[in-house]
Amino acid sequence: MSGESQQSIRLLLSDMDGTLLLPDHSLSQRTIDAVRSLREAGVLFSLATGRPPRAMLQTIEALGVDLPTAAFNGGTLVHPDGSLLVAHYLPATAALTTLALFADQPEIDVWVFSSGDWLVKDSTGPMVPREQHGLGYPPVVVESFEPYLARIDKIVAASNNTALLVELEARLLEKVEGQAQVSRSQPVYLDVTAMQANKGEALRTLAEFLGVPLAQTAAMGDGGNDPAMFQVAGLSIAMGQAEEAVKRQANLVTASNAEDGAALAIEQYILKR
């Protein structure tokens, strides 16, 4: 965690689910207004999320985001016109190791994201309806993930057994060390992406692209994939409902996403600076 900067903030990079979005995945008017006020004050604003680019479009439009955004935890940075700024794919060896470990776990849904598609072997998995509601589109059912190994953006283990996901996270980290990033983007989701696919690298890349010193950047989030950008940003803000381990790595803690904590943080910690 960088020390809290007293410089004015010129760029805010924010997580979506659990941060900007309410628990039902909608945007409050207060959040929309807060982001508009940022833009009017000359503060650049963009998004960094574990979601695929396709599942960001509604939020991008609602907030008027006109900068590159980071999908797949930073594995893909996409310009507003849909062209790629950066793309990092999961190495095939790490993907095979991950899929082999997850295959032995009957309590998890296993999903692969590749070339814009959400791939599943079983569309009746218990976690599928939640993900479909969040993404806004259905999965593609495939017999095997192996034909997609060359261009995997992200593998996800999804389960309501959060203790199992914590255990799998530790086991997988040992197996793919130096090959892949493993983190829980939400308590019920364990994400596996390329080593360069983290929100910290996304913030570095975006700040360099925009010509903003890192000391004048802020990052806001709630999940286990967000401290990577907390470590890089000049100012870091955790959501009130985040796990204690996430909060400890941020400079500041705001209210929960159910209480418009993101809007509150923008109003109090960025616009007033």
Boundary residue ending a domain (150, 178, 194): 194
Q: Is residue 244 part of a domain?
A: yes
pLDDT tens across the length of the chain (273 residues)? 444 446 799 999 999 999 999 999 999 999 999 999 999 999 999 999 999 999 999 999 999 999 999 999 999 999 999 899 999 999 999 999 999 999 989 999 999 999 889 999 999 999 999 999 989 999 999 999 999 999 999 999 999 999 999 999 999 999 999 999 999 988 999 999 999 999 999 999 999 999 999 999 999 999 999 999 999 999 999 999 999 999 999 999 999 999 999 999 999 999 987
Domain membership of residue 216 as a residue range: 11-87+197-270
Boundary residue ending a domain (194, 229, 246): 194
Say whether both 51 and 182 belong to one domain: no
Q: Is residue 6 part of a domain?
A: no
Say whether both 205 and 234 belong to one domain: yes
CATH at residue 228: 3.40.50.1000
- Please state the domain count of the chain: 2
Boundary residue ending a domain (150, 167, 194): 194
Contact 48, 200 (CB under 8 A): no
CATH at residue 110: 3.30.1240.10
